[in-house]
Amino acid sequence: MSVSPAGLPARTVDQSSRAFRYFEQVFGVCAAEVQKLYHDPFELLTRAIQPVIWLLLFGEAMARVRGLVTGSMSYINFISAGILTQSVLFVAIFYGIAAIWERDLGVLHRYLVSPAPRSALVIGKALSAGIRGLSQALVVYILAGLLAVPISLRAVHLALMVLFIVVGAALFATFSLIVACLVKTRERFMGIGQIVTMPLFFASNAIYPLTIMPAWLRVVARLNPLTYEVDAVRALMLRGGSSDFGVGSDFTVLAVVFAVLVGVAARLYGRMGN
Amino acid sequence: MDVSRSPDTVSPAAGAGGSAVIEVRALTRRFGNFVAVDRVSFGVGRGEVFGLIGANGAGKSTVVRMLTTLLPVTSGGATIAGYDLVRNPGEVRRHIGYVPQLMSADGDLTATENLLLSARLYGIPFREIRSRIEQTLAAMDLAPFAHRLVKAFSGGMIRRLEIAQGLLHCPAILFLDEPTVGLDPAARHAVLGRLAKLRAETATTILLTSHYMEEIEELCDRVGVLREGKLVAVASPAELKARVGPAATLDDVFAALAGEEAKSPEIQAYRDVRLSRRAARSHG
């Protein structure tokens, strides 16, 4: 550890471009979260139980309801895309509580005194939610395969699927972080988390199609980012699956919402340590 | 850590000289109507170890949190490592290391992974990362535990790792907020020993807060005494003692100058006490 005679560090910062440094900071935050999962994968395993319950209990039972018009696809096919999206959402939405926990411990301060831009910190955390989301997706794929859901294994579909899961999880993790910055305590966050998650889930096309919704709910669902996530997942996951809005439009909506949320979260995250 | 400290930078008047690496000017922080820090001004010379003492609620941590850019200042300002605290917090962050009162090492990561995270956040050149981590772990006597999860560490080991995190990017200034709180005497001794070695071997400027007079006396070139948010004295430990009486100890200085615990209802006092006790428990 050499320090120049002037007392200021001579070469602590590489001459590499700002963009590369930014990427490295995002990667560093995300990698640390993934290392934690590697050390203790128990949480991932318990989380895998939830989609099993939804698909096997709820899905199988609701598949017998004749009133649900899901077009040409069977209900179990329809809902597996919904359940996949839901498990990604549920993993991501409780990310805020981890942020509050880090604030209470003091770990948050090490991030905030570092020269990393707040947006790099937020994106790094959000992307690690995407990694968790991918592990959930894998569980749903296996389960759906066992239930004879016609899963598309085309490389381009799988690649786009990864993209949508990461962006979707990152979006909801960032939303969760914003809520955490606003409510500040774990107790309040738990309450708000429940209030927010269920409407997000039910006011979407995850477990029933938009066409059976009353008009007002359809409007709400069209404003819900989860609807676009489900729409793309449904098109990409199933053989012969189709999208209502177009996968390109779905991605645009999700990417724009994510960018806006990162902007808001970056502002709030910096003040969380006050 | 190969550059020796030149003794001439440690003059008691370093704050007034041109080589000040921290210059605090009328720094003020209000929480509602409560003035937590009231027009505090002082300077710290390059390579100097500067201590801040004061009773609970006197504003020590608030000063440190402002100087490390965590808490916005209400008025006044500071120049840190040549950069303006208010206008250029990004550059200030690049040149300081901070060891907070609470935990800053992540228990769910190993020591090496914690340092790797710091290396990436601070943009340490890729080729240097591995050797820097090894050197820093060795300097803090943690080399044998490099790949253990931090949650299995003792309180003193966690503190030394946190100091390693704060030093990894060779900051011009290291801020330590009550670095030995909650540690048993042996662990405190080890932490203080590493800080004394750092002081002897590098030109790193250190600003620390403490309740423990003996560690202030052992480490600090100069001490600032805070009382109810105001800086009431700045001098070397010897001068402070002489000022209070012929046979005075630093404890007497504390009693005479720092006064009692602040009685003003600081907004976050309950939360701060709760958090620092929890931190003390997990460290100790």
Q: Does B123 touch chain A (CB under 8 A)?
A: yes
| 8 Å CB contact of B105 and A11 | no
Q: Can you tell me the distance from the alpha carbon of B36 to that of A213, in angstroms, rounded to the nearest whole number?
A: 56
What pLDDT score was predicted for residue A218? 93
| Exposure letters A19-36 (e unless 16+ CB within 10 A, then b) | eebbebbbebbbbbbebb
Angle, CA of B32, B98 and B264, to the nearest 5°: 25
Closest by Cα among B90, B31, B25 to A274: B31
| 8 Å CB contact of A12 and B90 | no
Q: Can you tell me the distance from the alpha carbon of B109 to that of B102, in angstroms, rounded to the nearest whole number?
A: 17
pLDDT of residue B15 exceeding 50: no
| 8 Å CB contact of A8 and B120 | no
DSSP state of B261: P
Q: Can you tell me the distance from the alpha carbon of A249 to that of A106, in angstroms, rounded to the nearest whole number?
A: 41
Q: Is B264 helix (H, G, I), strand (E, B) or coil?
A: coil
Q: Does B272 touch chain A (CB under 8 A)?
A: no
pLDDT of residue B177 exceeding 80: yes
Q: Does A214 touch chain B (CB under 8 A)?
A: no
| 8 Å CB contact of B70 and A27 | no
What pLDDT score was predicted for residue B260? 64
Long-range CB pairs of A221-228 (<8 Å, 24+ gap) are: A224/A200, A225/A168, A225/A171, A225/A172, A225/A253, A225/A254, A225/A257, A226/A85, A226/A89, A226/A168, A226/A172, A226/A200, A226/A201, A228/A253, A228/A254
What pLDDT score was predicted for residue B256? 82
Contact B275, A104 (CB under 8 A): yes
Nearest to A11 among B125, B126, B167 (CB): B125
Q: Does A19 touch chain B (CB under 8 A)?
A: no
Please compute the mean of the pLDDT values over residues B160-174 and round it to a whole number. Answer: 95
Q: Can you tell me the distance from the alpha carbon of A123 to that of A120, in angstroms, rounded to the nearest whole number?
A: 5
- CA distance to A229, A241, B149, per residue, from A249 (Å): 10, 16, 44
At residue B36, what are phi and psi to the nearest 5 degrees?
-75, -35
pLDDT of residue B266 exceeding 60: no
Q: Given the structure tokens 């509580």, which residue do they identify?
A: A97
Among residues 37-56 of chain A, which lie with CB inside 8 Å of chain B? Answer: 39-40
Q: Does B149 touch chain A (CB under 8 A)?
A: yes
Shortest Cα distance, chain A CAs vs residue B63, angstroms: 12
> Which residues of B are less than 8 Å from A5 in CB distance?
3, 203
One pLDDT digit (tens) per residue for chain A, 274 residues: 444 434 444 444 445 588 999 999 999 999 999 999 999 888 888 888 888 888 888 888 888 877 666 777 788 889 999 999 999 998 898 889 999 999 988 899 999 999 999 999 999 999 999 999 999 999 999 999 999 999 999 999 999 999 999 999 999 999 999 999 999 899 999 888 888 888 899 999 998 888 889 999 999 999 999 999 999 999 999 998 889 999 999 999 999 999 999 999 999 999 887 7
Please compute the mean of the pLDDT values over residues B6-32 and round it to a whole number. Answer: 68
| 8 Å CB contact of B3 and A2 | yes
Spatial neighbors of A268 by CB under 8 A, at least 6 apart, are: A177, A178, A181, A182
pLDDT of residue B278 exceeding 70: no
Shortest Cα distance, chain A CAs vs residue B124, angstroms: 6
Angle, CA of B150, B154 and B158, to the nearest 5°: 55
Mutation for B interface: A2, A8, A38, most B CBs within 10 A: A8
Find, in chain A, the residue whose alpha carbon is nearest to that of B281.
A105
Shortest Cα distance, chain B CAs vs residue A113, angstroms: 6
The amino acid sitting at B78 is A
What pLDDT score was predicted for residue B2? 39
> Which residues of A are less than 8 Å from B90 in CB distance?
115, 117
Q: Can you tell me the distance from the alpha carbon of B78 to that of B87, in angstroms, rounded to the nearest whole number?
A: 10
Contact B24, B42 (CB under 8 A): yes
Task: Calculate what percentage of chain A has a pLDDT beyond 70.
Answer: 92
| 8 Å CB contact of A116 and B139 | no
| 8 Å CB contact of A8 and B81 | yes
pLDDT in tens, B211-262: 888 888 889 999 999 999 999 999 999 998 888 877 777 788 888 888 766 5
A vs B, Cβ pairs < 8 A, gives 143
| 8 Å CB contact of A25 and B121 | yes
Q: Can you tell me the distance from the alpha carbon of B90 to that of A114, in angstroms, rounded to the nearest whole number?
A: 8
At residue B59, what are phi and psi to the nearest 5 degrees?
110, 10
Joined together, the tokens standing for residue B74 give 């209400």
Q: How many CB atoms lie within 10 A of CB B212?
A: 17
Q: Can you tell me the distance from the alpha carbon of A212 to that of A218, in angstroms, rounded to the nearest whole number?
A: 9
Find, in chain B, the residue whose alpha carbon is nearest to that of A112.
B70
CA count, 13 A, side-chain hemisphere, B122: 31
At residue A41, what are phi and psi to the nearest 5 degrees?
-80, 5
| 8 Å CB contact of B165 and A110 | yes
pLDDT of residue B129 exceeding 60: yes
What pLDDT score was predicted for residue A128? 95
Mean of all residue pLDDT scores within chain B: 86
Nearest to A114 among B121, B139, B204 (CB): B121
Q: Can you tell me the distance from the alpha carbon of A53 to that of A140, in angstroms, rounded to the nearest whole number?
A: 11
Closest by Cα among A73, A54, A64 to A151: A73
Joined together, the tokens standing for residue A53 give 């319950």
Q: Can you tell me the distance from the alpha carbon of B108 to that of B129, in angstroms, rounded to the nearest whole number?
A: 21
Closest by Cα among A188, A177, A161, A51 to A111: A177
Among residues 99-158 of chain A, which lie with CB inside 8 Å of chain B? Answer: 104-107, 109-117
Q: Is A10 helix (H, G, I), strand (E, B) or coil?
A: coil
Q: Can you tell me the distance from the alpha carbon of B189 to that of B191, in angstroms, rounded to the nearest whole number?
A: 6
Q: Can you tell me the distance from the alpha carbon of A53 to that of A46, in angstroms, rounded to the nearest whole number?
A: 12
Task: Calculate what percentage of chain B has a pLDDT beyond 90.
Answer: 62
| 8 Å CB contact of A9 and B170 | yes
